[in-house]
């Protein structure tokens, strides 16, 4: 046997252990993991609660956006109706798209991840429980306030894609657009927080022995999902930031009259926007892959092929963004590349569809509610995929682009590929969190109404599009023959809504929340989430020997419950879980996890407050919120990164693990690398924007002078990097004084700040005005991005100094110290790259 970490895999054979374990250990676990009562319940961080609240909030947004859709369909049922006035209609369709994509589709997948993954991987919780709580509360507060803009008529009305210049101050002077830019930009940050949590959780907290080849497919899908979010979302974050700056400070990024280019927005938006579709589809596909096997009572056929398909989709979906832009007049050759990638990306989808069919054929599915939703979703998704192949053909897209044909296509893909699977998942997994399962009878009604309603709505809509009806029109004229298909679509929408209403009735009658006495494994699944659990998840963490441990080992539930596997107790008296290696899931160490806290909640409220108050131009309260949010985050972090009293513990059967590990194998290290990937992607997109706009309008650009300024600036950043490396070495030397490593970091921060200040003022002296040309706007934006990082560097350095003064920086290694150093190194590198780019391009040496 090969090992990844030096762990001897033969130790696994000691489990399940033979001796009986005392009940007092369970009482201890219950005490440690108990949820606060009353109002303090809001401070819980446990995934059983946060996950469910998260799912419920996402579902609430699904209902709200669905109501908007009903209003939209009513307005379009006949020509020249006045149900919704033009302004209201434009806000409604914008909000329908925005809320469905940003507040339902992505969050519901993250929510299901937070709810299901820890149990599926037999972890006690996700590795950063307070981060999940923060992500949830930020989303909850931010999302609801954003939605409320509708009630005061201030909702955005520029379409969910927000193309400038329609959304610039010239054509959208109100604060409606700012609600979108600040509200959505902020919710993206919450999505990224959730993605980091999920990615690290999947790679580092799996049950021992759960190798990559034994991972539940939902975990595989969520792994790809989280990685895709880290790559794709920075593009839209940067785009919203630039557009908001253009609106607030009048810097022309997208304004063609001053050398900007509106196409820059489209490239950035769709570089996020198309992967987004797969970001939604992949987790749903993962859910389907798991359900289809359980519901057919057989192993999934082609598990390995599906893993391949997930990975392939994750990559190739980044090569299709411009297929939303075939009608913009891009060069023909580039159009061809995107057409080809759009074709290639359907092969992984084909693999998954035929794997599911093969699994249904191999097993014996009964036609219960989740099975119906799975099969209905499959058929619907295939139809949407086929129209997707059609619109990947450039000339055909020139005709149907921006017509109702596309509206039909995208709803087939998203409802078939994500909504039906999510409803199947609601029925299938509800037993984990409710003391009663949902009703099969009502469920079937819900399915058939939703399925029929979906097809009555969207099948005729293809024809409406071919008949020439564009998208995003608030009405149409009589005599165009569009009445019949539109009326049919409206009827269908109400049938679909009736199906959702039946589901709500089912929830009201049967859903009863519980964390302990759940209804359990109604559909006979074989994966770990069906082990008996409490708030602490499983009593002991099993050694995984196959993909469906519950099917392959009939005793596993009993053994886990009786504590015959790893960590049947709390070894340190704190919340803890096993950290395992990413490939073979070999136990590496025990991590201490944070318990309930009000700080993530406060941090989320103040962050949301900052963004929303900025939107409504209440600048003073907004500026007050920012330090409050920062303090809350630092306060929550203050409790973390503290080694337990015991340096090593026995997690059962003589397996000894350390309780504090730093460096590249620690989960903190992985998380900061994820953050740096996000920062790097933002920088890459900014560089792309810089080069792209120069390529379109070089006449607005001039070659900078005084290029020698680059020498002291780069030297400053270089000195900072060297100091950081030196500080790192000092920390490992026990002989160095308490303060010397931190002092090196503080000096490094000073150098970084000095380099930035030098860069900014010498660049200002160039006279390239940010309000006059796109070069001015983009160069100043890149300096502003660096300034943001430097501000965080200063904050981190101050925090490190505070921890040093309290003696919290452990030796020879310390996670807080590592994280700070990595961030400083990255900031120095980006700063140097920025300086060189601005000064030497365009203009040459």
Partner 1 sequence: MFNGWPPPVLDPAGPYAGSISLLSWILFAMAAVVLLVVLVALYLALFGRRELQRKVGGKTAIWAGGVAFPLVVLTALLVYGLSLTNHLSDPIRGDEMRVRITGEMWWWRVAYLDAQGQEIILDANELHIPAGQPVVLELESADVIHSFWVPRLSGKLDMIPGRRNLMRIQANTPGTFGGQCAEYCGGPHALMGFTVIAHDPVQFTRLMEARLARAAIAVDATSAGARLFDTAGCSACHRIAGTDANGVAGPDLTHVGSRRTLGAGILPNNRGTLMGWIGNSQAIKPNNRMPPYTLLSSEQLMALASYLEAQR
Partner 2 sequence: MGTWKLLLGGFLAWTAHFFGVYAAASLFPGSAVARWLVLAITVAALAAVGWLFWHALGIVRAAGTDDLNRWLAWIAVAGATMAGISILYQSSPAFLI
Q: Which of residues 65-104 bind partner 1 (CB under 8 A)?
A: 85-87, 90
587 sits near partner 2 (criterion: CB under 8 A): no
Least distance CB 393 / partner 2 (angstroms): 13
**Span near partner 1 by CB under 8 A; candidates 14-22, 398-406, 522-530, 748-756:** 398-406
- In the complex with partner 1, the residue whose CB is nearer, 468 or 658, is 468
Bridge partners, residue 566, by sequence: 541
For residues 609 and 462, give the distance between their C-alpha atoms in angstroms, rounded to a whole number: 43
CB closer to partner 2 out of 74 and 346: 346
Distances from the Cα of 778 to the Cα of 11, 39, 787, 833, angstroms? 57, 48, 14, 15
Residue 742 in tokens? 């931190």
Decide: residue 467, CB within 10 A, 0-12 exposed, 13-18 middle, 19+ buried. Answer: middle
What residue has token string 């590990």?
A: 661
Cβ proximity of 626 and 610 under 8 Å: yes
Stretch that binds partner 1, among 381-389, 618-626, 676-684, 821-829 (CB under 8 A): 381-389
Ranges within 716-745 binding partner 1 (CB under 8 A): none
**Minimum distance of partner 2 from residue 345's CB (angstroms):** 8
Q: Could you say whether residue 389 binds partner 1 (CB under 8 A)? A: yes
Q: Find the binder of partner 1 among 31, 40, 354, 732 (CB under 8 A).
A: 354
Contact stretch for partner 1 (CB under 8 A) within 119-127, 276-284, 338-346, 565-573: 338-346
Q: Which is nearer to partner 2, 212 or 822 (CB)?
A: 212
The residue among 523, 457, 446 whose CA lies nearest residue 485 is 457
CB of 399 to partner 1, least distance (A): 5
Binding pattern to partner 2, positions 665-704, x when CB under 8 A? ------------------------------x---------
- Which two tokens mark 255? 């304004």
Q: Measured from the CB atom, is 155 or 592 closer to partner 1?
A: 155
- The answer to whether residues 422 and 218 touch, using CB atoms and an 8 Å cutoff, is no
Angle subtended at Cα 127 by Cα 572 and Cα 182, rounded to the nearest 5 degrees: 140
**Binding-site member from 70, 81, 382, 758 for partner 1 (CB under 8 A):** 382
Range 329-358, binding partner 2 (CB under 8 A): 331-337, 339-341, 343-344, 347-348
- Evaluate whether 482 touches 74 at the Cβ level (below 8 Å): no
- 9, 36, 468, 712: which one contacts partner 1 (CB under 8 A)? 468
**Look-up of token digits 């003589």:** 654
Contacts with partner 1 by CB under 8 A: the residue count is 87
Eight-state DSSP code of residue 364: -
Other C-beta atoms lying within 10 Å of the C-beta of residue 137: 24
Smaller CB distance to partner 1: residue 78 or 618? 78
- Residues 709-738 touching partner 2, rule: CB under 8 A, are none
* Residue with smaller CB distance to partner 1, 343 or 836: 343
Q: Is there binding between residue 347 and partner 1 (CB under 8 A)?
A: yes
Q: Find the radius of gyration of the CA atoms of the chain.
A: 27
Residues 278-317 close enough to bind partner 1 by CB under 8 A: 301-302, 305
Extended beta strands in 298-427, E state: none
**Using CA atoms, how far apart are residues 320 and 327, in angstroms rounded to an integer?**
14
Partner from partner 1, partner 2, none binding residue 213, C-beta < 5-8 Å depending on class: partner 2
Could you say whether residue 158 binds partner 1 (CB under 8 A)? yes
Q: Could you say whether residue 843 binds partner 2 (CB under 8 A)?
A: no
Query: Does 583 engage in binding with partner 2 (CB under 8 A)?
Result: yes
Site residues for partner 2, window 263-302 (CB under 8 A)? none
Q: Please check whether residue 764 is in contact with residue 840, taking contact to mean a CB–CB distance below 8 angstroms.
A: no
Q: Taking a C-beta distance cutoff of 8 angstroms, is the pair 829, 789 a contact?
A: no
Shortest Cβ 343–partner 2 spacing (Å): 6
Q: Residue 583 and residue 216: Cα distance in Å, rounded?
A: 14
Site string for partner 2, 207-236 (x = CB under 8 A): ----xxx-----------------------
Task: Determine which residue in the list 40, 213, 249, 361 makes contact with partner 1, applying CB under 8 A.
Answer: 361
Partner that binds at residue 327, options partner 2, partner 1, none, CB closer than 5 to 8 Å by kind = partner 1
Q: How far apart are the first and last CA of the chain?
A: 56
**Residue of 14, 697, 811, 813 interacting with partner 1 (CB under 8 A):** 697
Q: Which of 663, 606, 660 is nearest to 634 (CA)?
A: 606
Exposed e or buried b for every residue in 759-774, given b needs 16+ CB within 10 A? Answer: bbebbeebebebebbb
Long-range contacts (CB closer than 8 Å, 24 or more residues apart) made by 325-329: 325/263, 325/266, 325/267, 325/270, 326/394, 326/397, 326/398, 326/401, 327/397, 327/398, 327/401, 327/402, 328/263, 328/266
* Residue 583 C-beta: closest distance to partner 2, Å: 5
- Lookup result for tokens 């007049």: 329
Encoding tokens for residue 620? Answer: 């003073």
In the complex with partner 2, which residue's Cβ is closer, 450 or 543? 543
Cβ nearer to partner 2, comparing 203 with 675: 203
Which window, 215-223, 348-356, 595-603, 727-735, contacts partner 1 (CB under 8 A)? 348-356
Q: Is 355 in the site for partner 1 (CB under 8 A)?
A: yes
Say which entry of partner 1, partner 2, none residue 157 contacts (CB below 5 to 8 A, set by partner kind).
partner 1
- DSSP state string for 54-103: HHHHHHHHHHHHHHHHHHHHHHHSSTT--SS-HHHHHHHHHHHHHIIIII
- State the binding partner of 584 from partner 1, partner 2, none, CB within 5 to 8 A by kind: partner 2
Task: Write each residue from 223 to 262 as x if it is in contact with partner 1 (CB under 8 A), else as -, in one continuous string.
Answer: ---------------------------------xx--xxx
Report in angstroms how near the CB of residue 412 gets to partner 1 at its nearest: 11
Which of the choices partner 1, partner 2, none does residue 695 contact, using the CB cut-off of 5 to 8 A by kind? partner 2
Which x/- pattern over 641-680 shows residues binding partner 1 (rule: CB under 8 A)?
----------------------------------------
CA dihedral sign, ordered 33, 37, 43, 46: positive
**Nearest alpha carbon to residue 665 among 575, 732, 592, 579:** 579
Residue 680 near which of partner 1, partner 2, none (CB within 5-8 Å, type-dependent) = none
Exposed e or buried b per residue across 567-584, where buried means at least 16 C-beta atoms within 10 angstroms of its C-beta: bbbbbbebbbbbbbbbeb
Instruction: By CB under 8 A, name the binding residues for partner 2.
Output: 1-2, 211-213, 304-305, 307-308, 311-312, 314-316, 318-319, 331-337, 339-341, 343-344, 347-348, 583-584, 695
């Amino acid at each position: 046997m090969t090992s990844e970490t030096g762990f001897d895999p033969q130790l696994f054979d000691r489990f399940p252990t033979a001796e009986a374990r005392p009940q007092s250990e369970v009482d201890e676990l219950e005490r440690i993991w108990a949820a606060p009562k009353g109002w303090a319940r809001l401070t819980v961080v446990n995934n059983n609660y946060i996950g469910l609240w998260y799912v419920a909030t996402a579902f609430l947004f699904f209902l709200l956006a669905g109501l908007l859709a009903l209003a939209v369909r009513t307005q379009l049922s006949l020509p020249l109706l006045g149900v919704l006035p033009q302004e209201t209609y434009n806000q409604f369709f914008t909000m329908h798209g925005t809320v469905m994509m940003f507040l339902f589709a992505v969050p519901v997948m993250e929510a299901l991840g937070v709810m299901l993954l820890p149990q599926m991987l037999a972890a006690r919780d996700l590795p950063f429980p307070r981060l999940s709580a923060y992500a949830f509360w930020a989303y909850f507060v931010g999302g609801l306030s954003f939605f409320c803009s509708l009630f005061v008529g201030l909702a955005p009305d520029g379409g969910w894609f927000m193309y400038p210049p329609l959304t610039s101050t010239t054509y959208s002077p109100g604060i409606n657009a700012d609600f979108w830019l600040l509200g959505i930009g902020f919710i993206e940050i919450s999505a990224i927080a959730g993605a980091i949590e999920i990615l690290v959780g999947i790679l580092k907290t799996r049950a021992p022995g759960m190798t990559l080849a034994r991972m539940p497919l939902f975990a595989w899908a969520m792994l790809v999902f989280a990685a895709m979010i880290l790559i794709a979302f920075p593009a839209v974050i940067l785009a919203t930031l630039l557009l908001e700056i253009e609106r607030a400070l009048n810097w022309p990024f997208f304004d063609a009259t001053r050398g900007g280019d509106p196409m820059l927005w489209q490239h950035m938006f769709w570089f996020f926007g198309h992967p987004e579709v797969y970001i939604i589809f992949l987790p749903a596909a993962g859910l389907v892959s798991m359900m289809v096997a359980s519901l057919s009572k057989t192993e999934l056929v082609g598990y390995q092929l599906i893993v391949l398909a997930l990975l392939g989709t994750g990559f190739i979906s980044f090569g299709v963004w411009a297929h939303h832009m075939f009608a913009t007049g891009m060069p023909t050759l580039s159009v061809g590349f995107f057409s080809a990638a759009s074709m290639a990306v359907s092969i992984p989808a084909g693999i998954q569809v035929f794997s599911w069919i093969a699994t249904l054929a191999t097993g014996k599915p009964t036609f219960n509610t989740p099975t119906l939703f799975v099969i209905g979703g499959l058929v619907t998704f295939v139809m949407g995929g086929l129209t997707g192949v059609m619109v990947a053909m450039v000339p055909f897209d020139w005709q149907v682009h921006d017509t109702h044909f596309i509206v039909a296509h995208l709803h087939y893909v998203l409802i078939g590929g994500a909504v039906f699977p999510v409803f199947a998942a609601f029925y299938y997994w509800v037993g984990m969190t409710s003391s009663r399962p949902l009703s099969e009878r009502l469920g079937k009604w819900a399915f058939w109404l939703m399925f029929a309603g979906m097809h009555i709505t969207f099948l005729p809509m293809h024809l409406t599009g071919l008949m020439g009806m564009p998208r995003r029109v608030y009405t149409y004229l009589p005599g165009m023959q569009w009445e019949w298909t539109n009326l049919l679509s409206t009827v269908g929408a109400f049938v679909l809504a009736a199906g959702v209403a039946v589901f709500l009735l089912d929830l009201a009658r049967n859903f009863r929340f519980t964390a302990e006495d759940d209804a359990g494994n109604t559909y006979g699944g074989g994966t770990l989430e069906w082990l008996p659990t409490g708030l602490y998840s499983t009593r002991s963490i099993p050694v995984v020997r196959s993909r469906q441990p519950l099917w392959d080992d009939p005793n596993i539930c009993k053994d886990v419950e009786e504590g015959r596997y790893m960590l049947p107790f709390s070894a340190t008296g704190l919340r803890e879980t096993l950290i395992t290696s990413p490939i073979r899931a070999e136990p590496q160490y025990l991590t201490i996890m944070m318990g309930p806290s009000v700080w993530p909640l406060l941090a989320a409220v103040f962050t949301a407050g900052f963004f929303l108050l900025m939107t409504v131009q209440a600048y003073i309260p907004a500026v007050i919120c920012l330090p409050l949010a920062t303090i809350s985050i630092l306060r929550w972090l203050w409790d973390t990164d503290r080694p337990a009293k015991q340096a090593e513990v026995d997690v059962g059967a003589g397996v000894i693990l350390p309780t504090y590990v730093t460096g590249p194998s620690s989960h903190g290290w992985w998380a900061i690398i994820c953050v740096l990937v996000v920062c790097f992607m933002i920088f890459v997109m900014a560089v792309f924007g810089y080069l792209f706009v120069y390529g379109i309008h070089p006449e607005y650009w001039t070659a900078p002078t005084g290029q020698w300024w680059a020498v002291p600036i780069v030297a400053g950043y270089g000195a900072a990097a060297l100091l950081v490396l030196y500080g790192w070495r000092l920390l490992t030397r026990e002989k160095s004084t308490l303060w010397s490593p931190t002092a090196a970091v503080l000096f490094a921060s000073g150098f970084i700040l000095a380099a930035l200040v030098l860069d900014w003022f010498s660049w200002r002296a160039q006279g390239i005005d940010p309000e006059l040309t796109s070069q001015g706007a983009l160069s100043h934006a890149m300096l502003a991005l660096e300034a943001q990082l430097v501000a965080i560097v200063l904050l981190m350095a101050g925090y490190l100094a505070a921890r040093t003064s309290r003696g919290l920086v452990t030796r020879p290694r310390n996670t807080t110290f590592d994280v700070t150093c990595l961030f400083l190194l990255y900031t120095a590198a980006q700063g140097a790259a920025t300086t060189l780019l601005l000064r030497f391009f365009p203009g040459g040496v």
